[in-house]
Amino acid sequence: MKELFPMKQIMGFVFSLMLTVVALAVYFLNMSFAMGMTILVVTAFIQAAVQLVVFMHAGETKDKGAIYTNVYYGVAIALVTIFGTLLTMIWGYN
Amino acid sequence: MEFFERFAIPHPSAPIYASMVAIALTIVAIIAGLTYFKKWGYLWREWLTTVDHKRIGIMYLISALLMLFRGGVDALMMRAQLAVPDNKLLDAQHYNEVFTTHGVVMIIFMAMPFIMALMNFVVPLQIGARDVAFPRLNALSFWLFFMGAMLFNISFVVGGSPDAGWTSYFPLAGNEFSTSVGSNYYMIAIQIAGLGTLMTGINFITTIFKMRAPGMTLMKMPMFTWSALITNAIIVFAFPVLTVALAMGTMDRLFGTHFFTTNNGGMDMLWANLFWVWGHPEVYILILPAFGIYSEVISTFARRNLYGYKSMVVSMVLISFMSFLVWVHHFFTMGQGALTNSIFSITTMAIAVPTGIKIFNWLFTLYKGKIEITTPMLYALLFIPLFTIGGVTGVMLGMSAADYQYHNTMFLVAHFHMVIIPGVVFAMLAGLTYWWPKMFGFMLNERLGKLAAWVIGISTLVAFMPMFFSGLDGQARRMYTYSASTGFGPLNMISFVGAIGLAVGFAIIVYNVYYSVRYASRDIGADPWNARTLEWATHSPVPEYNFAIVPHVKSAEALWDAKKKRHILFQGDYEKIHMPNNSGVPFIMSSIFFVWGFAMIFSMWAVAIIATIGIFACMAHRSVEIDHGRYISVRKIEETETKLRGAK
């Protein structure tokens, strides 16, 4: 029964559809640029995590330690690059 | 006729026409030679289609040496131009093109493939594997790099070389200020080679994680393999930034987008920012494998195990992360505020700490060691003081307040040459000499090797020390000439003498190769240096399957402990060995990439579209192709092993 009805994946699918709807709402609703971008960034990161964990099966094999280390390392470097660039090019720029 | 005008050189001169003739004659000579000696089949079967990591390593090595001479000639032209005031040898445009290609060729088409050469050859042997995880991808990596390099190298005779510096800053590199196709060459050739590098990164991480010999835990890996693992991790995280930046630059130049323009919402400095987000990790991509080589060489010839194995590993992991935190120190003067500059100044100081740990570990390894001065060891010992000069001046440049004084002067040029030449080039030469017997089955002559090391070591000082002083006196980098009244003349003349000395040093190495091919003994056994790691446990030269029996590892210095503590590396009987088949697809696909790149550079869209279809066709072919590899039979292994053991 579990093979026929994989609860985790179906819930994940519904959840990722909801995230898409929320992201899409930014286009249709009237809101400030900052607000819209915040919603897009947050939903994008959650969406990526859902895809990785639920549909790409990260954490279901014995090398899950290596996979998560890799993901966290990648996220850390991405954040450093983005915020470092913002600091250099906009916030800290004379 | 109008169609062909685009291929003309915008700024021709007699030496360029001479180069055109020389290139044409060389190509004719190569084709004639291959036909006359009936070597086309051999070339195709043994080299162009090979997926063997050892042969790919050797092809990387040959390419790197060719590019070393190309970049070296550029360097000599620059030093000759600056040797005396008001020199007329090169004009401003020609000088710009020469320093741009010198930088790109030396970093991306010389240092990178040299590292790839040694990683390809050594890492699978050090971990007791039969090949890399994805042999065919490895071949594709090499051919993409090679085609990118060739595309970049034809720029000076077809359409004109890039002239905006190896950093290719926008808006200078944009269409408004760089009107020739030169900067298109930069964007596209580096893109193609960079794709190959990214694939290598993925390939080697998988290889090192998944294909180690039984018993070799991560903390029992040889230090060079550790450095290769960390390097490839940095490649995988840093190169995508370059890929994106180059794609954006290409779109700006070819399709009229405004990522890096000064108007319409573009941000020209974002290029510099993205370039160095990749560029600073790139520095560590170059230096970490070099550190790995020094670790191997120093522990082998001090006859001691490496001091502080764990701290070596930890410092490399720290470097791999911190290398992503310091990039702004390349452009302190571009207008950031004091806070931003201070943050990046501090991270820059901090990254010197793990590097310092490594230096002290080598010194402690040498302490009380039975030091034997061989050529690789001589390079390692020359490296420590010379690299320290580069490192200390780097700390000076890293202080953002003081950097305003040094920025864009010859002081900076002297600094990074004193880092890269002792750090990377000496390491590559040490590694080349050290692993040469494993690659080719004979050793390079020690007397000539040491002579070359001394000549190169001293010439490095003669060539680059004067630049520190002329830089502090105010000589700007990339300045094609100066007047006698500036007083830069004598210092630049000394630099020129040093550059000639470096050329002589490399000529001695070439002569050494020739001399050793003719006269060196072929009867050297598998382990001529009395070394410590697994690559010396198999025959020289290495059979295609590397190890007849997969080794069982019990310690970090597997071979040394097999020799001294009687660990048994090879147990059991021969079994048939599964090997990958050769394939021509990587070569063909990369050749199509070359055509694609050329078409993109000259905006020949029809050709570019056809080539794109060709590239996708090659990938589709790979998806549907069925290839289970082949087996080497036990009888064949016995034959090979008997032959390689010689009389025994």
Listed by start position, the domains of chain B span 1-287, 387-541
pLDDT over 80 at A2, yes or no: no
Nearest chain A residue to B324 by CA distance is: A77
- Within this chain, do residues A33 and A79 fall inside the same structural domain, yes or no? no
Contacts of B615 (CB under 8 A, 6+ apart): B589, B592, B593, B596
The DSSP 8-state label assigned to residue B345 in this structure reads H
Q: How far apart are CA A55 and CA A37, in angstroms?
A: 26
Identify residue B493 by its one-letter amino acid code. M
How close does chain B come to A85, measured CA to CA in Å? Answer: 7
Q: Is A93 helix (H, G, I), strand (E, B) or coil?
A: strand
Q: Is A93 on the interface with B (CB under 8 A)?
A: yes
Quick check: B244 contacting A, CB < 8 Å?
no
Each residue of B478-528: pLDDT tens digit? Answer: 999 999 999 999 999 999 999 999 999 999 999 999 999 999 998 888 899
Is B324 within 8 Å of A81 when comparing Cβ atoms?
yes
Predicted model pTM: 0.94
B380 compared with B573, residue with greater pLDDT: B380
Shortest distance, CA B267 to any CA of chain A (angstroms)? 9
Give the Cβ contact number of residue A11 at 10 Å. 12
The first and second tokens of residue B573, run together, are 């009987």
Q: How many residues does chain B have?
A: 648
Kindly tell me if the per-residue pLDDT of B342 is higher than 90: yes
Distance, in Å, from the CA atom of B394 to the CA atom of B391, rounded to the nearest integer, reads 5
CB B268 within 8 Å of CB A89: no
Contacts of A64 in chain B (CB under 8 A): none
Same-domain check for residues A19 and A50: yes
The partner residue sitting opposite A94, judged by closest CB among B209, B335, B343, is B335
Contacts of A92 in chain B (CB under 8 A): 336-337, 339-340
Q: Both A20 and A41 in a single domain?
A: yes
Closest CA to B152 of B97, B201, B198: B97
C-alpha–C-alpha distance, residues A10 and A8, integer Å? 6
E-strand spans in B222-283? none
With 0-12 CB in 10 A as exposed, 13-18 as middle and 19+ as buried, what is B469?
middle
How far the first Cα of chain A sits from its last, in Å, is 63
Q: How confident is the model over B202-257, as pLDDT tens digits?
A: 999 999 999 999 999 999 999 999 999 999 999 999 999 999 999 999 999 999 99
Same domain, A37 and A78: no
User: Considering only the top CATH level, what class is B1-287?
Assistant: mainly alpha
Test A93 with B335 for CB contact under 8 angstroms: yes
Residue A63's pLDDT is what? 81
Domain identity same for A50 and A68? no
Which chain A residues have a beta carbon less than 8 Å from that of B233? Answer: 73
What three-state secondary structure class fits B577?
Answer: strand
Phi-psi region of B227 (alpha: psi -120 to 50; beta: other; left: phi over 0): alpha
Most distant CA pair in chain B, distance: 78
In whole angstroms, give the CA distance from residue B419 to residue B389.
8
Interchain contact A74–B (C-beta under 8 A): yes
Is residue A35 domain-shared with residue A51, that is, in the same domain? yes
Count of the separate structural domains present in chain A: 2
Helix (H, G, I), strand (E, B) or coil at B604: coil
Q: How far apart are CA B229 and CA B138, in angstroms?
A: 16
Measured distance CA(B529)–CA(B435) in Å, rounded? 10
Q: Percent of chain B, pLDDT > 90?
A: 85
| Mean pLDDT over the full length of chain B | 93
Contact B237 A77 (CB under 8 A): yes
How many angstroms separate the CA atoms of B439 and B535, rounded? 11
Q: How far apart are CA B466 and CA B387, in angstroms?
A: 16
Cα A18 to Cα A28: distance, rounded to the nearest angstrom: 15
Rg, chain B, Cα only: 25
State the pLDDT at residue B156. 87
Most distant CA atoms of chain A, gap in Å: 63
A29 lies in the same domain as A68: no
Alpha-carbon distance B592 to B34, whole Å?
23
Output the pLDDT for position A1.
65
What does each C-alpha distance from B134 to A4, B54, B208, B251, B378 come to in angstroms?
35, 14, 12, 32, 36
Mark yes or no for CB contact A89/B267 under 8 Å. yes
Q: Please tell me the predicted confidence (pLDDT) of residue B209.
A: 92
Residue by residue, DSSP assigns B394-420 as HHHHHSHHHHHHHTTBHHHHHHHHHHH
**Residue A92 and residue B340: Cβ atoms within 8 Å?**
yes
Q: In the structure, what pLDDT confidence band is assigned to residue B647 with cuts at 50, 70 and 90?
A: very low
For helices B112-126 and B182-210, what crossing angle results, to 10°? 10
- Do B117 and B60 meet the contact criterion of CB atoms below 8 Å apart? yes
Write out chain A residues lying below 8 Å of B274, CB-based: 85
Contact check, Cβ <8 Å, A66/B339: no
Q: What is the DSSP letter of B324?
A: T
Instruction: Clarify whether residues A52 and A73 are in a common domain.
Output: no
Any idea which of A1-5, B381-385, B577-581 has the lowest mean pLDDT?
Answer: A1-5
Q: What share of chain A is helix, strand, coil (3-state, %, to 5)?
A: 80, 0, 20
The token duo for B401 is 């307040």
In B399-488, where does DSSP find H-type helix?
400-406, 410-420, 426-440, 446-472
Distances (CA, A) of B388 to B130, B243, B320, B419: 38, 33, 20, 8
Q: State how far the alpha carbon of A29 is from the alpha carbons of A17, A18, A20, A38, B552, in Å.
A: 18, 16, 14, 14, 65
Task: Give the DSSP H/E element, type plus range, for residue B11.
Answer: none
Structure token pair of residue A59: 């954490």
User: What's chain A's Rg over C-alpha atoms?
Assistant: 17
Q: Are B578 and B629 in contact (CB under 8 A)?
A: yes
pLDDT digits (tens, 9 = 90+) for B440-472: 999 999 999 999 999 999 999 999 999 999 999
Residue B648 scores a pLDDT above 60: no
> Which one-letter DSSP state was computed for residue B630?
E
Residues B566, B463: Cα–Cα separation, whole Å: 49
Angle between the B223-255 and A64-86 helix axes, to the nearest 10 degrees? 50
- SS3 category, B536: helix
Res. B18 pLDDT band, cuts 50 70 90: confident
Contact B273 A87 (CB under 8 A): no
Paired residues of B409 in beta bridges: B476
Residues A1 and A44 in one domain: yes
Contact residues, chain A, for B239 at CB < 8 Å = none
Closest CA in chain B for residue A90: B336
Give me the residue label for tokens 């995280």: B237
pLDDT-based confidence at residue B6 (cuts at 50, 70, 90): confident
- Does B209 contact chain A (CB < 8 Å)? yes
Contacting residues of A for B248, CB less than 8 Å apart:
none
Number of other CB atoms surrounding residue B435 within 10 Å: 26
The DSSP code sequence of B12-80 is --HHHHHHHHHHHHHHHHHHHHHHHTT-HHHIIIIIIT---HHHHHHHHHHHHHHHHHHHHHHHHHHHH
Residue B242's closest CA among B282, B198, B278? Answer: B278
Q: What is the three-class DSSP state of B202?
A: helix
Query: Which residue among A80, A88, A92 sits closest to B325, beta carbon to beta carbon?
Result: A80
Q: In DSSP terms, which residues pair with B336 in a beta bridge?
A: A93
Q: What does the CA dihedral B119, B121, B122, B123 come to, rounded to 10 degrees?
A: 60
* Containing structural domain, residue A14: 1-56
Whole-angstrom Cα distance, residue B629 to residue B581? Answer: 5
A84 chain-B contacts, CB cut-off 8 A: 277, 325, 327-328
Q: Average pLDDT of B321-347? A: 93
User: What digits encode the pLDDT tens for the residues B109-128?
Assistant: 999 999 999 999 999 999 99
Q: Do A94 and A69 have their domain in common?
A: yes
Taking only the tens place, the pLDDT of each residue in A27-83 is 998 889 999 999 999 999 999 999 988 888 888 888 888 888 888 998 899 999 999
* Same domain? A52 vs A66: no
Alpha-carbon distance of B211 to B205, in angstroms, equals 10
Token pair listed for B560: 């040394």
Min Cα separation A18/chain B (Å):
30
**Chain Cα centroid distance, residue B431:** 13
Q: How many CB pairs under 8 A join A and B?
A: 44
Residues A74, B343: C-beta atoms closer than 8 Å = no
A66 plus A49 within the same structural domain? no
Kindly provide the residue ranges of all beta strands, DSSP E only, lying in B170-267, ordered along the sequence: none
CB B632 within 8 A of CB B579: yes
